[in-house]
Amino acid sequence: MTHLPHARVLASAGTGKTHRLSSRYLDLVLRGADPRTLLATTFTRAAAAEIRERVLVRVAKGLLEDQSRTQLATDLNLDLLQPEDLEGVLGSLLRHLSELQICTIDSFVARLTTVGSQELGLGSTPELVYDDRERGLQARILRRIFDRLDSEQSLGAFADSIDGLSKGSPAQSITDTLQEIVRFGLPPFHETQGRVAPWLWAIEEGLDAFDLTPIADGLRTAVEGHSKAITTAVEKLCEILDSVDPEADRFTVLMATRKSDSSLCMKVRAGESTYGRGKDNQIGASLCAAIQRLNDHVDRLVVEEYGRRTMSTHALLACYHEAREEVRREQGVASFGDLVRVLVEADPDLLRDELWFRLDGRIDHLLLDEFQDTSLMQWKVLRPLAEEIVSDGTGERTFFSVGDIKQSIYGWRSGLPEILEHLPTLILEDGVRAAIEDENLYQSWRTGPEILGIINQVFSTIDRRPMMQDAEHLARAAERFRRIWVEHEPAPGRPSGCFELISSPLDPDNKSTAAEQRLAAAVRAAEVAADLHRAHPGLSIGVLTPQNKVAAQVLALLRQQGLDATGEGGGSFLDCGASIVFLDALRLAGHPGDSAAAFNLRTSPLKTPLELGENGRSDSELARALRGAFASQGIARTFEDWFTGLAGQLDQRELTRLERLIAETERLEAGGLTDLVLVRRELEGLRLDEPGSDTIRVMTIHGSKGLAFDLVVLTGIDGPLIRPGKLVNERDPGSLELRRVSRWVNKNLLPSEIEPLQTSTQADMAFERFCQLYVAVTRARKGLFVVVAPPGTKNVSKTSMGTLLCQSFDLEQRAEDPRRPELLVSAGTRDSLSRQGIPMETVPEASTIGFKVVGGTDLPAAPPPSGRPDLAPGSGEAPTRHAEEARLFGTAIHGLFELIEFIEDPLPEEDRLRQQLRRLCPGGDRGWQDRTLSEFHAMLEHPEIRSVLSRAALLESSPTAESLRVWREAGWLQLTTEGALEVGVFDRVVVFERAGVAVGALLVDWKTDRVDAASAQIHAQRYRGQLEAYRNAVARIEGLALESVQACVLFSRVGIRVTLSV
């Protein structure tokens, strides 16, 4: 019996969220839960890998170290924990390593739809794309829409919809208009399942024929006796009213009555009774009433106009959705959002009775990480399982969620923190409150006391800042944030740190524009980051900003100073000269007139293989030759030929970049993308991680989520807190379903009917910005340095993050430091950054856990880590159809080879082979099984494959060996001397024995890459790091000298064996 309560953990930043979730996981397993019945979801592959690693490391250390075991028992509220308890848990985890369901929610959804693709109407498994911009998908959709406009009627309806969106707005191209609509409108369209009702507004008929003469006459009568300024303003209003004729667009004409906040109509609308300067500026009661009648009529027109705009938006989204579905099915692609939508719209009985069971059998324990980022659509997929678990009265099933409402910064991709906020009433039907215990984590293990003191000061009384009184939506957002705030405390032993609020350079004339102020802030931030790096070279530095534009400025400024700074994601193919030249070849092939690309190629090492001597090819001839090469042998193969020829001229970074470039190009081509322009754009847009290579990381606040730095520099926060959006909405307070949707209305036009929706939407946006600021300042371990505009600077938003921070301190009472006049506020000193280090855990010597390695079919087959994306941090890109098919094929081949101990033994019957395929790849149909088995039998005929499977050949290769022992698909885990966890699955290890003692070993790693003899060596080198770790593990487990363990990569499709050189 597990008998743990259902729980909602609200974990503030740095308080050990992952530690708490891994504790829950281990607690369940120690209480007897089968780890295969636990489903733990999160939002990034890196987070999933961290959870998995944390679970395994804590068990491993507890097994090796008395102190770690005692701490684990304390964490789990256990009196005593014995080594044998942990040995059993670790054995269970490793035996079922490939079946542990610790994954991203996207990965889980993809698996769920894969096993039920036929029943869900998906046909064959679709290729996954991140969004419609990939592979030219959106261009195809728009072309489909335009192709349908074949009749005068359909063309007219489409034109009316477009015109209904842009009336009174700056002109845009039709394509730009559609792309903008899709970007902001498709998620709510899908969430409302295309229903018209939430988008439909009651429109008053007959307003266009309404006689405005009585309103104009009333104004002329009421203005008598008023000042000249008021009389002139009324005359202009009457001229506007008189200009309206039956043919005029009444809405466009009457918008002029509200052209600015200082107009007469807006003064009356705001409840003010004066206009202009001087003594006679009072607006009489009768004139106020007359103006209000005009305002009422304009308000009714606004409701009508924006009702039409909202319906035009819906009509265009419906048109786009229909075309998109057709193109998507033709191309065989889907986004994760599509998969979620398919599951939401599926029969609940199908999900509960078929797909859940088919996936991995019964799920008894649900653990949800980063729950504040869950969208309503994702929750609708998970809620039936949560309801089933919470409704179970046996105590054998549990629900657990962990998140932080204060870190909800993904509203732009449909994250809905209200789900976490109101979770107890959202699980069961009809809003019945579920029995869920709450736990608050507020003790930070990341940040020191000085910085936490500042954070508490800023946020604990956020609703008292003067800027919150300027607008209702700010007041509501601040009150909401204060309501969920819990005072933060530093964990015991956290070192002292430093906080500084620093002003950007002051413009002596105080006339700088917003763009100039952004640049000044970037300059100051680069200066601060550079100074900190020089003074404290061993500390990690993160420069954070809300805007990509500012991040790019800071990055350029740091690189100009020769500092090793990297952008968000670590880098790209555009930050290395070698990869840039390869991309220039694609650019020239796609655009023969690109003289810059041609120049780069002529002055690069590629000029020799491309025959670009003094009397060589012209630009057009070169472009033609490149297109021919790419078309005849493929882009990746052409790149590989160049790479091989340049290998001796490249440094390590260039080698690494080009290897990755070739691999990514192969991935794109295998997925069916061959258009030179699109391939180049995909490659240029990839963000690449470079672990350990970056001294200073520059990124957006969104990109920093989940990271931590010793020192944080925050800049670019002086812009408006929120900007006008595109849609406003209202949700049902109980179910959180979208109840009403409308287009965003300009503040000067905002009528009372739409104002509550817009204010609510603005409050949500402001709340998210407060969360964004909180995320930024809580990334710091030891030092936080915030750059803001100098106090009193003109053209700076009065409602910005910078203003919020400045208003949290009494700047008027500060004592200016003449040595550092830019320093506005400080806590602690920079000296503390050098004096104290952050306590590190004691790291044990390298150890391999003493578990029994089980071979043969007693162990479930597991693909290697390189084939399991959830085991390692990734870029977050959506896997392509080819990648998914390759993963399934790799899993299948590993599973089939697992069934063979030696080739001399009888091959398993076909029924047994198919049973293995069904178990490992439940989504594969009979045809897929036939093709896979055919390839597998062909593999067994390759001499190199037979040599590593043959008992006789293996014994002959080792004269000292008397017998052989084989591991197949065996899980392993070890701790390095640095305390890092290495975990994996041996594909095949043959242990050579003499008198029962190991005297050598052969490690075989199966790979299903498509290679040839010329490129096999290069491909094999990409796996060197993996094989070295595996080889070390084999040596430690068997007690062998490292040189006694041979390792090889065996490309099973072609039967090529590459031995790892030592």
CATH of the domain at 817: 3.40.50
Q: Give the DSSP per-residue string, 961-1014.
A: -SEEEEEEEEEEEEE-TTS-EEEEEEEEEEEEEETTEEEEEEEEEEE-----TT
Tell me how far the alpha carbon of residue 70 is from its chain's centroid.
37
* Together in a domain, 553 and 610: no
Give the confidence band of 161 by pLDDT, cuts at 50, 70, 90: low
DSSP 101: E
Is the pLDDT at 874 greater than 60? The verdict is no
Is the pLDDT at 787 greater than 60? The verdict is yes
Q: Which residue has the higher pLDDT, 356 or 291?
A: 291
User: Percent of the chain scored above 70 by pLDDT?
Assistant: 87
Give the confidence band of 664 by pLDDT, cuts at 50, 70, 90: confident
Residues in CB range of 25: below 8 A, 6 or more apart:
38, 40, 51, 55, 367
Indicate whether 783 belongs to any domain.
yes
* Together in a domain, 30 and 116: yes
Q: Which residue has the higher pLDDT, 229 or 858?
A: 229
Of 310, 331, 352, the position where a domain reaches its end is: 331
Indicate whether 851 belongs to any domain.
yes
- Render pLDDT for 675-694 as a digit per residue (tens, 0 to 9): 888 888 888 877 775 544 45
Taking residues 467-472, what's their average pLDDT? 92
Indicate whether 755 belongs to any domain.
no
Tokens of residue 161, six digits: 């919809």
- Dihedral, CA of residue 803, residue 809, residue 811 and residue 812, to nearest 10: 120
Of 378, 408, 441, the position where a domain reaches its end is: 441
* Together in a domain, 111 and 253: no
* Together in a domain, 882 and 972: yes
Alpha helices in 395-434 (DSSP H): 418-421
Indicate whether 50 belongs to any domain.
yes
Q: What is the pLDDT of residue 853?
A: 34
Q: What is the pLDDT of residue 975?
A: 63
Indicate whether 341 belongs to any domain.
no
Residues 315 and 748: beta-carbon distance below 8 Å:
no
Q: What is the pLDDT of residue 873?
A: 30
| E strand intervals along 369-426 | 398-403
pTM beyond 0.95:
no
* Together in a domain, 245 and 309: yes
For residue 269, is it left (φ>0), alpha (ψ between -120 and 50) or beta? alpha
* Together in a domain, 108 and 132: no
Residue type, 981: L
* Together in a domain, 734 and 811: yes
Q: Which domain holds residue 25?
A: 7-123+360-441
* Together in a domain, 82 and 145: no
Is the pLDDT at 244 greater than 50? The verdict is yes
CA distance 700 to 772: 10
CA distances from 247 to 244, 253, 921 (A): 8, 11, 66
Indicate whether 371 belongs to any domain.
yes
* Together in a domain, 237 and 376: no
Is the pLDDT at 483 greater than 70? The verdict is yes
* Together in a domain, 320 and 187: yes
CATH of the domain at 878: 3.90.320
Of 835, 861, 876, the position where a domain reaches its end is: 835
Taking residues 536-551, what's their average pLDDT? 92
Q: What is the mean pLDDT of the chain?
A: 85
Give the confidence band of 864 by pLDDT, cuts at 50, 70, 90: very low
Indicate whether 339 belongs to any domain.
no
CA distances from 917 to 115, 147, 568 (A): 13, 44, 41
Among positive and negative, which fits the CA dihedral 12, 18, 20, 24?
positive
Q: How many residues in the chain?
A: 1062
* Together in a domain, 425 and 529: no
* Together in a domain, 385 and 495: no
Q: How many domains does the chain have?
A: 5
- Render pLDDT for 3-37 as a digit per residue (tens, 0 to 9): 799 999 999 999 999 999 999 999 999 999 999 99
- Render pLDDT for 308-321 as a digit per residue (tens, 0 to 9): 889 989 998 999 99
Indicate whether 401 belongs to any domain.
yes
Residues 32 and 396: beta-carbon distance below 8 Å:
no
How many CA atoms, within 13 angstroms, populate the side-chain half-sphere of residue 324?
18
